[in-house]
Chains A and B, each alone.
Chain A
Amino acid sequence: MATPLLSVSSLTIGIRRKGQPDTVIVDSLSFDIQKGERFGIVGESGSGKSLTLRAIADLLPKGVEVLSGSIRYDGAELIGMPAAQRRKLMGPEIAMIFQEPMTALNPVVRVGEQIAEGPRRYLGLSKQAAAELAIEMMAKTGIPDPARRARAYPHELSGGLRQRIMIAMALSCGPKLLLCDEPTTALDVTVQHQVLRVLEELCADSGASLAFVTHDLAVVNQTCTDLAVMYAGHIVESGRVAEVFSDPRHPYTKGLLDSAPDFDQPDRELVSIPGFPPNLAARPSGCPFAPRCQFAVEACTTAMPPTDEVAPGHFAACFESARIFEGAAA
Chain B
Amino acid sequence: MTETPVLRVANITKTYHLGSTLIDKLSRDPNKHSSLRALDGVDLRLNKGEILALVGESGSGKSTLAKILVGSSTATSGELDYHGNPMPTHRSKDASRRIQMVFQDPYSSLNPRISVGSMLKELLLLHKIVPRGEVKKESIRLLNLVGLEEDALDAYPSQFSGGQRQRIAIARALAVRPDILIADEPVSALDVSVQATILELFAQLQRDLGLSILFVAHNLAVVQHLSQRVAVMYLGRIVEVADTAELFSNPRHPYTRALIDSIPRMAAGSVNDEFVLEGDPPSPFNVPSGCRFNPRCPYATDACREIDPALATVAPGHESACIRADELNELAAAGTKNN
A→B interface (CB under 8 Å): 42-46, 49-50, 61, 99-100, 102-103, 142-145, 147-148, 151-152, 156-161, 164, 182, 185-194, 197, 215-219, 221-222, 242, 245-246, 255-256, 259-264, 266, 270-273, 276, 279, 281
Contacts and interface: CB of A to CB of B under 8 A. Distances in A.
Contacts of B160: 46
Contact of A45 (B34, B194, B271): B194
B188 A270 contact: no
B104 A263 contact: no
30 contacts: A42-B191, A100-B107, A144-B280, A144-B283, A145-B284, A145-B286, A159-B63, A159-B104, A159-B105, A160-B58, A164-B58, A182-B188, A182-B189, A185-B189, A186-B218, A189-B262, A193-B262, A215-B188, A215-B190, A215-B191, A215-B192, A218-B221, A218-B264, A221-B271, A222-B271, A256-B191, A260-B196, A261-B225, A263-B224, A279-B149
Contact of B164 (A46, A186, A189, A245): A46
A143 B281 CA distance: 7
Interface string B254-284: 0000110011111110110001110011111
B18 interface: yes
A156 B16 contact: yes
Nearest to B280: A144
A161 B58 contact: yes
A222 B192 contact: no
A102 B158 CA distance: 13
A263 B220 contact: yes
Nearest to A151: B31
Contact of A215 (B195, B268, B285): B195
Contacts of B221: 218, 260-263
B282 to A, nearest CB: 6
Given A152-B18, A185-B189, A186-B104, 15 more contacts: A45-B164, A99-B189, A103-B108, A144-B280, A148-B34, A160-B59, A185-B218, A188-B57, A189-B218, A259-B192, A261-B225, A262-B221, A266-B248, A271-B196, A279-B151
B219 interface: yes
B218 A99 contact: no
Most chain A CB inside 10 Å of its own CB: which residue of B224, B282, B286: B224
A192 B262 contact: yes
A156 B147 CA distance: 33
Interface string B178-204: 000000010011111111110110000
Interface of B: 16, 18-19, 31-32, 34, 55-59, 62-63, 104-108, 147-149, 151, 158, 160-164, 167, 185, 188-197, 199-200, 218-222, 224-225, 245, 248, 258-259, 262-268, 270-271, 275-277, 280-286
B271 A272 contact: no
B190 A45 contact: yes
Nearest to A163: B58
Most chain B CB inside 10 Å of its own CB: which residue of A61, A143, A261: A261
- Closest CB pairs A-B (n = 3): A160-B58, A45-B163, A145-B283
B113 to A, nearest CB: 15
Contacts of A142: 281
A279 B248 CA distance: 41
